[in-house]
Amino acid sequence: MNVAGSQAQVDRVFHALGDPTRRAIVEQLSEAPRSVSGLAGPLRITLTAVAQHLQILEDAGLVRTEKTGRVRTCRMETAGLAVLEQWVGQRRTTLERRLDRLGDFLAEPDQ
């Protein structure tokens, strides 16, 4: 995927997880798959609200859903988590590389 595309993907993942209700949904689904109403119950919000959150989570690659009969089953998807891990990893390595160079500089005997 190109830079712009993965950038947009990072945007979607962070935006999706920026909301505490959506994080709660992800936390639920990492424990077990659930139906839309199964998610709505503990969250104390309407089915409609949950469905709206699910759309955003699905676009971000954090959740996968499948409708069978009248029930939509929602499962965790690892792609979104991978995006998150990669972003954090990049920040960490950039930072460490810089601190290493600083270490080299301070270790210089002269100049």
Partner DNA sequence: CTAACACTGAAGTCGATGCTTCACTAATTC
Partner DNA sequence: GAATTAGTGAAGCATCGACTTCAGTGTTAG
The residues that touch a copy of itself, with contacts defined as CB under 8 A, are: 10-11, 14-15, 17-20, 23, 26-27, 30-32, 76, 78, 81, 84-85, 88, 90-92, 94-95, 98
Longest dimension (CA), the chain: 75
Beta-strand ranges (E) seen in the chain are: 34-35, 63-68, 71-76
21 contacts which partner out of DNA, a copy of itself, none, CB within 5 to 8 A by kind? Answer: DNA
Assigned token pair, 55: 């759309």
Question: CA 96 to CA 81: how far, in whole Å?
Answer: 22
Out of 21, 81, 86, 87, the only residue in the binding site for DNA (CB under 7 A) is 21
31 binds DNA (CB under 7 A): no
Out of 3, 70, 105, 107, the only residue in the binding site for DNA (CB under 7 A) is 70
Angle, helices 47-59/3-17, rounded to nearest 10 degrees: 150
Nearer CB in complex with a copy of itself: 36/80: 80
